[in-house]
Amino acid sequence: MKVVMNEKPKNTWCWVFNRRLRPFYIGLVMAILSGALGCEWEKPPIRIGFAGGLTGRYSDIGVGGRNGVQLAVEEINGSGGIHGRRVELIVKDDRNDPDTAVQVDRELIREDVAAIIGHMTSAVTMAAIPLMNSERMLLISPTTSTSALTGIDDFFFRTAGTNDILAVALADYLMERTAVRRMNVIFDSSNRAYTETFIKAFRSRYEELGGRLTLVASFSGGNDPLRDVISQTLLLPSCDGVLILACGLDAAWICQQIRKQDPDIPLFATGWPMTQEFLEHAGKSADGVRFIDYFNWNSKTPLYVQFQKSYRERFAVPPSFSAVYAYEAARVLFEALIKNSDPRALKETILDIRQFSGLFGDFEIDAFGDAHRKPFMLYAENGRFLVEE
C-alpha cells in the first residue's frame, strides 16, 4: 500500500480557505458572535455619576454609598436597563474635600452624566451646589442632612432626612425617657454644615424643655491633638451625658477615652458614626451608646431583607446606612428616567412622582427635594446596632 505524505487536498479551494482566509473567517465569526451578544444594548448607555469620599478618614460612608449605587445599577441592567438602554456608572473619589468635589463634578458633567449621586458629607455637598445650579445638573445626596439646605428650590435633592427633625427628636427623647439634663457636646468642625446645624436645632429644643448644654467643644477631624485633649477632659464640667458628632473612627476613639473616665455615663450620637468601623474600633466601649437616625437596622420589610442578602453576597459585608440611602437614591433616579428618559426633566419628574418606595417603606421627596422619613432611636450592643422599642 502506497502512502503519500504531505499531499495537498484535491480541492484546492478548501486548502486556500483553510490556510489563507482562515484569519478573515475567524474574525468574521467573532464579529457575528459579538454582535449577537451585544444586541440587547444597541442603544447608547445612560450615564450616571457617583461622587463621594472613597479614601481617607470618612471613606466608610463613601465606600458604602458607592456599593449601594453599584448594586442598584447591576440590578437595573440585569432586568433590561431603562427602555433598553444600559446604565453606566462613573465613579469619582472626592476625597471628602470641597475643592476636589467641584473638580470631579466638572469631570462628570463633561462625561455627559444624566445626574450625580453624592456627595456624602454636608460640607462637601455645600461646596458643590453652586456648580450644580449653574449647570442645571441634578445632585441627589444619600447622606447630606444639613438643615442649611432645607426648603430651597435648587438642583439639590436627598434621600436622607434632615438634621433639624432628628435634633428635636433627640431632645424630646432625653427629656421624656432619661434623666439627662446637662449635656456636654464634642463635634467635628471640619463638617460644620452638618454638625453645627444639628447642635443649633438640638440646643434650641433641649433648652426650651429645660435641659442645658454645659460644654460644646470642637476638633477638626482625623488625628487632631485637640480631639485627644478634649476627649480626656470631656466630663469637665460635670454633666449627665455626652453627645458626639463625629465619623465612625473618631467617635470610637472618643467613646474609649470617656469610658476610661466613667464607664456608666450615657453617651449619645447622631447617625454619622453608625458604621462597622465604629463597632470594630470602639469594641466594648460602643455598648450602650445611643444614636438618633432615620435608619431602621431591625426592619423586616421584604425589600430590605432582600437588599441585605444581595449586598452581602455582592460585597461580603453587611450594608451600612450610606449603602441603603445611596441604593434608594439610584432607584429614585431610575424610576424618574423610566417615566421620562430626558435627563433635563429629571428634577420636574421626581417632584411629580413625589412618593417613592424605600427599603423601610414609602418616603416622600417634597417640592424642595427634601426627603421626609420617620426617625428612630437606636443603640449599640455586642457588635450590633438595634432599634430601641
Averaged over successive runs of 10 residues, the pLDDT of the chain (389 residues) comes to: 40 41 45 45 92 94 98 98 97 97 98 98 97 98 97 97 97 98 96 96 98 95 81 92 96 95 97 95 97 94 97 96 97 98 96 97 97 96 94
Q: Are the beta carbons of 180 and 214 closer than 8 angstroms?
A: no
DSSP strand pairing (116-118 vs 139-141): parallel
- How far apart (Å, rounded) are the C-alpha atoms in residues 207 and 172? 11
Q: What local confidence, expressed as pLDDT, does residue 41 receive?
A: 67
54-100, pLDDT tens digit by residue? Answer: 999 899 999 999 999 999 999 999 999 999 999 999 999 999 999 99
- How far apart (Å, rounded) are the C-alpha atoms in residues 160 and 332? 12
Q: Are the beta carbons of 205 and 171 closer than 8 angstroms?
A: yes
Q: What is the value of pTM for the model shown?
A: 0.86
For 58, phi then psi, to 5°, come to: -100, 15
**Vertex 174: Cα angle to 173 and 176 (nearest 5):** 65
Q: What local confidence, expressed as pLDDT, does residue 17 receive?
A: 41
Task: Report which DSSP code applies to 44.
Answer: P
Q: Give the CA-trace dihedral at 46, 317, 302, 167, to 10 degrees.
A: -90
Which single residue is written with the C-alpha cell 449627665? 240
- How far apart (Å, rounded) are the C-alpha atoms in residues 167 and 141? 20
The C-alpha cell of 30 is what? 467573532
- How far apart (Å, rounded) are the C-alpha atoms in residues 329 and 66? 11
DSSP strand pairing (212-219 vs 182-188): parallel
159 by DSSP, 3-state: which?
A: coil
Beta strands in 162-207 (DSSP E): 182-188
Give buried/exposed letters for 4-20 (b at 16+ CB in 10 A, else e). Answer: eeeeeeeeeeeeeeeee
Half-sphere exposure of 10 (CA within 13 A, CB side): 1
Task: Give the residue from 373, 385, 146 showing the smallest Cα distance to 269.
Answer: 385
**Vertex 24: Cα angle to 21 and 29 (nearest 5):** 120
Structural domains in the chain, sorted by start: 46-161+299-374 (3.40.50.2300), 164-293 (3.40.50.2300)
Q: What local confidence, expressed as pLDDT, does residue 40 receive?
A: 58
Which single residue is written with the C-alpha cell 476638633? 219
- How far apart (Å, rounded) are the C-alpha atoms in residues 328 and 345? 19
The answer for residues whose C-beta is within 8 angstroms of residue 75's C-beta and 6 or more apart is: 310
**How many Cβ atoms are within 10 Å of 77's Cβ, its own excluded?**
18
Half-sphere exposure of 283 (CA within 13 A, CB side): 5
Q: What local confidence, expressed as pLDDT, does residue 253 receive?
A: 94
Which helix (H) or strand (E) element contains residue 384? strand 384-387
Task: Give the residue from 185, 64, 48, 49 showing the smallest Cα distance to 121.
Answer: 64
CA 207 vs. chain centroid, Å, equals 32
- How far apart (Å, rounded) are the C-alpha atoms in residues 280 and 298? 20
**How many Cβ atoms are within 10 Å of 180's Cβ, its own excluded?**
19
Q: What local confidence, expressed as pLDDT, does residue 216 receive?
A: 97
